[in-house]
Amino acid sequence: MAGVKVERLLVNYKTLEDFKRFQAYGNQELSMLEDLQNEIVENDSKSPFYGIYYGNNLVARMSLYERSKKYDHYFNPPQDYLVLFKLEVLPDYRKKGYGKMLVDYAKSYNVPIKTNPIIDSHHFWEHMGFEMASYNLERDLGENPFIWMPSGVKEAIQPPHNTSVNNSEKKVKEKQK
């Protein structure tokens, strides 16, 4: 893999054509075509898309978004972190280290990372050093996030909120006394 590197993808029509290849061969849930089209319309010069080219072909890609510590409910102490979305490697290029290269690139920022595996890829994320976050119904809204924490960072464990189910259980226990 000499000479292969992760690079920020430009928000342009060439990248749009490259993304169409992923739509044809990849998992529909991981499609970034609409995301890129929105970025082109908004003319956002700071692309959140990163990829790896093999020759002239885009073979692996991901989205990386920065989140402010004021929205951090995952890490202790609260801090800025990255959200890694839609990591995908084309089928013919899987098991060759491209996914790991993308994750290592994200880790090189040395800030915590959160991801929401869309397909059954838990083993991959665990192999990359991510842990399943402690589930919090209000925070996670049905997602099962995985997190990676650099040295000195811990998961922010949040106690479950006092839901109506918990209140009902308390009332039943009080009546039983």
* Residue spans per domain, the chain: 6-158
pLDDT tens digit sequence for 121-174 = 899 999 999 999 998 888 888 788 999 999 999 999 865 544 444 444 444 444
Q: What gap in Å lies between CA 79 and CA 71, rounded to an integer?
A: 9
Q: Determine how β-strand 6-8 pairs with β-strand 49-54.
A: antiparallel
Tell me whether the omega of the peptide bond preceding residue 77 falls within 30 degrees of 0, making it cis.
yes
Question: What percent of the chain is helix, strand and coil (3-state, nearest 5)?
Answer: 35, 25, 40
**pTM (two decimals):** 0.73
Instruction: Copy the structure tokens of residue 14.
Output: 């060439």
* 49 beta partners: 63
pLDDT at res. 159? 55
Superfamily name with CATH number, domain 6-158: Gcn5-related N-acetyltransferase (GNAT) (3.40.630.30)
Burial class (CB in 10 A: 0-12, 13-18, 19+), 159: exposed
Give the mean pLDDT of 59-83. 94
Instruction: Place 39 in a pLDDT band, splitting at 50, 70 and 90.
Output: low
pLDDT at res. 114? 96
Residues of the chain above pLDDT 70, percent: 69
